[in-house]
Amino acid sequence: MRRLIAALLAAFLLSILSLQATAAPQVVYRYASGGGKRLVALTFDDGPHPKYTPQILDILAEYGVKATFFMVGSNADYHPELVSRVLAEGHEIGNHTYHHYHTANMQTDELLSDILACSEALSRHTGSKPTLFRPPEGVFNEEIKALCGKEGYTIVMWSVDTRDWAHTPISAIVSGVRANVKDGAIILMHDFIGKNSPTPAALRQIIPMLQESGYELVTVSRLLAE
């Protein structure tokens, strides 16, 4: 009888462990809870970029705010000194795949290995594995969710899309943020834009505007911890 109980107990514990191993990842679609603390997360995708990432870092430092950079692994390999700078200045780094392929043309297998390749590259440069993943173009499926669950990633989408990558005029970027921001917002911007990026100039208006409205700008992990 005791043996039977022990065996049942072992089977029960194993089932719990295997459930945990395949647990669905947390997916943050829109507004994370800011806990009423008026917290907002600025996020920058696709970098590091040799010109725009340093400009953005200078502005963040000037206003004393922290942000999250979803890096492309190949760009991190081209500019490891910028990965180090982002980290040294207290910002957070997330996974945005190694090559940033156009997801519509891709097999899921290729995308899964591209996520893992980015994990490896960022781990090499930072000394630890990232825990946040932003899918290129915001596209993911059940297999990608399963991989993220297994790898311990939270999938981070966004609530305010500035469309800075499309060279949206600075005034439209700023008014779009003003109209859509609220407690717990995650704002999508880019530090890698081919040329004539509107992002640094827009940031110079967005950050003081948000601070004057009583918002604190924090990393995504800080936002999710509330």
Query: Toward Zn ion, which CB reaches closer, 137 or 143?
Result: 137
The residues that bridge with 22 in the sheet, in sequence order, are none
Judged on CB neighbours under 10 Å (0-12, 13-18, 19+), 32 is: buried
Query: Toward Zn ion, which CB reaches closer, 45 or 183?
Result: 45
Site pattern 120..149 for Zn ion (x: CB under 5 A):
----------------x-------------
Of 39, 27, 57, 67, which Cα lies nearest the Cα of 181? 39
Query: Toward Zn ion, which CB reaches closer, 39 or 155?
Result: 155
Q: Centre a 10 Å sphere on the Cβ of residue 26 and count the other Cβ atoms it contains.
A: 14
Taken in order 139, 44, 119, 218, the sign of the CA dihedral is negative
CB of 170 to Zn ion, least distance (A): 20
CB of 60 to Zn ion, least distance (A): 19
Cα–Cα dist 198/196, whole Å: 6
The C-alpha R_g of the chain, in whole angstroms, comes to: 19
Residues 46, 100, 190, 191: which is the catalytic one?
190
Cα–Cα dist 43/51, whole Å: 17
CB of 118 to Zn ion, least distance (A): 12
Output the DSSP codes for 68-88.
EEEE-HHHHHH-HHHHHHHHH
**Binding residues with Zn ion: total (CB under 5 A):** 3
Query: Toward Zn ion, which CB reaches closer, 46 or 164?
Result: 46
Please confirm, yes or no, whether 79 is among the known catalytic residues. no
Site pattern 32..51 for Zn ion (x: CB under 5 A):
-------------xx-----
Please confirm, yes or no, whether 190 is among the known catalytic residues. yes
Query: Toward Zn ion, which CB reaches closer, 34 or 79?
Result: 79
Q: Is 183 in the site for Zn ion (CB under 5 A)?
A: no
Residues 45, 164, 183, 191: which is the catalytic one?
45
Active site (catalytic) residues? 45, 190
Residues lying near Zn ion in the complex (CB under 5 A) are found at 45-46, 136
